[in-house]
Structure 1
Amino acid sequence: MKITKEMIETSKSTYKKCAKNRLAENAVTTNGIHQTAKNWETSAESTQVFSIDLPTGEVANQKQSGRCWMFAALNTFRHKILQDFKLKEFELSQSYTFFWDKYEKSNWFFEQILATGKSELTDRKVAFLLQTPQQDGGQWDMIVSLIEKYGVVPKSVYPESTSSSASAELNKYLNKLLRKGALVLRTLIEENKSTEEIQAKKAELLDEIYRFLSISLGNPPEVFDFEYRNEDNEYFIERNMTPKSFYEKFVGVDLGEYVSIINAPTKDKPYNKSYTVEMLGNVVGGKQVKYLNVDMKEFKRLATRQLESGETVWFGCDVGQSSDRKSGIMATGIYDIDGLFELEVEMNKAERLDYGESLMTHAMVLTGVNVVDGETTKWKVENSWGKEVGEKGFFVASDKWMDEFTYQIVVRRSFLSEEQLKAFDAEPIVLAPWDPMGSLAN
């Protein structure tokens, strides 16, 4: 059926008969959808007061880059460093992990290209790879792989560059290099070149990429000295540190003790099963991306347990849903879209995942929670968008918002039951590369 003139006239006539439509039109065309539909009562329910509120220091700023997953992970370590070494302010270098992530993702991409080298360009997996050879985003297990291989350094040792703070140009030209490299490698496969010849060419391509990244971001340090003063004004210097020795001394967290928990209530992902995603990763030979799927009640219980123990929680969510960036409020009732337009746009969480309406887009840190009569009511969130958004960079998420738009947390293994640990450690179910649980946080 095509749209006819009569259909348009009917819709126009119906629209004009309702006086409310004209009022809504004036309001929305002047103020925009969100400002018109905003529910002001939500602000009163989203105060920055929590029964558990962990100290964190000032928020960081990822600027015009998609490194939230790195910022969130490094922020959880920063919280520990601030307390353990009595520092007022401190940041780990997000640019350092960014460099090695770009380099490792390039190798990962080439390996996937080689694995699919005999498939047609129209094959869905090949097309999926070439659509976005690499990007800034990532997941928890990917930052673990980077840290276990390369360690971490203070921001003072490897500071931000223009291309780490605003990564669009770097990504544009790195993806050009990777697609050209894919052409070269697939051509060698077509010509039936030996594995040795193909790997030698891949090494040449990676050498070019290392040079490109070093020019763009700066060559990463191997050995450095670290000077600091604590809150008591005592001076310290650590000489001849490597990124790995710095991690061991100043962070000292056993990353193997942490597991990723997801809440994906879709029919294809039964609870209490472990999952991985085909072709998802960054470090060849690194940690497998793996999750345990649990119901939302258990999901929030595990997050609360870790906060109660005094440790913040890395988490992934769909930050753009029902959220006000300026006030830092994330609540399902913040915008009454249905009431404004007299339409029904809402879906449940499973439907949103199945129909592409929502997935994990951003990673942040849970630093507090409000528990009343044994029930969670709201959550304190440390973002990485600087101090100018939210309450000095901190957001408040309603408990209902957490139910609907949070997909992943990272907690210690010790908080899981024996049954959950057994399920997590089992051979994971492999999801397709384009499954929503394979989305990368930016």
Structure 2
Amino acid sequence: MSEISKEQTRKYQEAFTKNLKQQAIQRSVVKNGIKASAENVSAAVENTPVFSVDLATGKVSNQKQSGRCWMFAALNTFRHKLLNSYHLKDFELSQNYTFFWDKYEKANYFYENILATASQEMTSREVAFLLQTPQQDGGQWDMIVSLFQKYGVVPKSVMPESSSSSNSRDLNHFLNKLLRKHAMILRNLVEQQADGSTIEAKRAELLQEVYQLLVISLGTPPEQFDFEYRDEEKTYHLDQQLTPQSFYDKYIGVDLDQYVSIINAPTADKPYNQSYTVSMLGNVVGGKPVKYLNLDIESFKQLAIRQLSDGESVWFGCDVGQSSTRDSGIMALNAFEIDQLVDVSFEMTKAERLDYGESLMTHAMVLTGVDIVDGQSTKWKVENSWGEKVGDKGFFVMSDAWMDQYTYQIVVRKDYLSSEQLAAFEAEPVELRPWDPMGALA
């Protein structure tokens, strides 16, 4: 054992007292905080919001106090298409509608995993993993695809925000409380050797309780509706008796099976040009399985550039809290000079950060532009979903170096992949453990 002695601490204190520079820094940090004292204004100068490729996207949306960034990002990519195709202004698709079905489906997916692990001890890592967070707001691209393909989409006017969708903390608390009780009931039935029909009947009964909680909290999802709007020329339009599926087919019309998830995970356990999936990760039982292709960062960025250059925005996932400013919307490695401020090094490689739990995907946004200088990307335009009071009216600027270090996933059309890359994606994926960092939910 290596106990800390009083003499050891006294030496540290004496060294600090003799360092007048550190004492001056101490006064600043005590008064203003670490990040405010370390913010580097030159990062904003180096990352001006001007881009050689810059897509028209309209105003940004606001996920408010919820973890629905992955939904907002996906729906925003559809919104861009609608705004341009139908000359709409300030139009949004209903995030609450998709949120409802995600919660509903995640409950059933949780039951599936609880029953699959019912023979394991409560102390097993898999069971503990499931019970720690039965469901949450976040998700992955393939999970949102499963929802769109099963439930379609609707305009926000048809199912607007609710208190619990805009601030999901209480709903998550009570839904997880309910799901843990349901897990106990289902595991007890398995332990009692109940037959399959008994278990399925109970499962349906439990799911009805989830539905009741959700419909009271979020509202009733529409089955049929009229789409009424005026375009930018003030022309009136009315489309009647639509369903969420027919609205998607008519107004969105994107074949989601033509899109693939690309990741950049430079860890030793994940060789490039290999496809991966994650055990127990999903939301819709029988839906699209989560699957990625791991590529080196240069190939990763070139795919994003190609899609942007063809006029289509790119859904992406990153670790947004790393070296980024919320107010000015700058994502740059030198946004804060913390190392200089406290005179210690925080440097790790991207692989080391993943391996040691220092970083993982925490947030999804949309790439809507890129600046190409002498054939190389230098910075990227990012549409966030935190409203217009942050960044440049809600848009952030991401330096190319920041993208290298903290961006983990993009979604691009299959036809941008080379034949070798496509073959690698379509090969049988390597299954990662549920707690692998590539299983993180944005």
TM-score surpassing 0.5?
A: yes
> Distance in 2 between the 1:398 and 1:137 partners?
25
Question: What count of residue pairs does the alignment treat as equivalent?
Answer: 441
> Distance in 1 between the 2:40 and 2:185 partners?
55
Aligned to 1:269: 270
Structure 1 stretches of 4+ moved >6 Å: none
Aligned to 1:396: 397
SS of 2:288 mapped into structure 1: coil
Aligned to 1:409: 410
TM-score for both structures, normalised by structure 1: 0.99
Aligned to 1:192: 193
> Distance in 2 between the 1:45 and 1:94 partners?
35
Aligned to 1:105: 106
User: CA offsets per residue over residues 163-211 of structure 1, 9 Å max, x none?
Assistant: 0000000000000110000000000001000011001100000011111
Aligned to 1:253: 254
- Map 1:289-300; keep pairs closer than 5 Å: 289-300=290-301
SS of 2:368 mapped into structure 1: strand
Aligned to 1:52: 53
Aligned to 1:225: 226
Over the residues paired in the alignment, what is the CA RMSD in angstroms? 0.5
TM-score for both structures, normalised by structure 2: 0.99
SS of 1:267 mapped into structure 2: coil
SS of 1:204 mapped into structure 2: helix
Q: Which runs of 5+ in 1 are unaligned?
A: none
Aligned to 2:355: 354
* Structure 1 position 37, deviation (Å): 1.1
> Distance in 1 between the 2:45 and 2:185 partners?
59
> AA paired with 2:290?
V
- Map 1:194-213; keep pairs closer than 5 Å: 194-213=195-214
> Distance in 2 between the 1:118 and 1:432 partners?
18
- Name the stretch that deviates more: 243-252 or 21-30: 21-30
User: CA offsets per residue over residues 321-350 of structure 1, 9 Å max, x none?
Assistant: 000000000000111111111111110100
Are 2:244 and 1:243 aligned? yes
Are 2:427 and 1:429 aligned? no
- Name the stretch that deviates more: 335-344 or 265-274: 335-344
Are 2:29 and 1:24 aligned? no
- Name the stretch that deviates more: 337-346 or 290-299: 337-346
Aligned to 1:88: 89
> Distance in 2 between the 1:416 and 1:392 partners?
33
> Distance in 2 between the 1:315 and 1:170 partners?
27
Aligned to 1:75: 76
> Distance in 1 between the 2:32 and 2:205 partners?
55
> Distance in 2 between the 1:219 and 1:121 partners?
36
User: CA offsets per residue over residues 280-312 of structure 1, 9 Å max, x none?
Assistant: 000000000000000000010000000000000
SS of 1:378 mapped into structure 2: strand
Q: Which runs of 5+ in 2 are unaligned?
A: none
- Map 1:281-296; keep pairs closer than 5 Å: 281-296=282-297
User: CA offsets per residue over residues 103-135 of structure 1, 9 Å max, x none?
Assistant: 000000001000000111000000000000000
> Distance in 2 between the 1:37 and 1:171 partners?
35
> Distance in 2 between the 1:99 and 1:254 partners?
23
SS of 2:409 mapped into structure 1: strand
* Structure 1 position 36, deviation (Å): 1.2
* Structure 1 position 232, deviation (Å): 1.6
> AA paired with 1:221?
P
- Map 1:146-161; keep pairs closer than 5 Å: 146-161=147-162
> Distance in 1 between the 2:148 and 2:233 partners?
30
SS of 2:412 mapped into structure 1: strand
User: CA offsets per residue over residues 4-48 of structure 1, 9 Å max, x none?
Assistant: 111111111111111111111011111111111111211111111
SS of 2:408 mapped into structure 1: strand
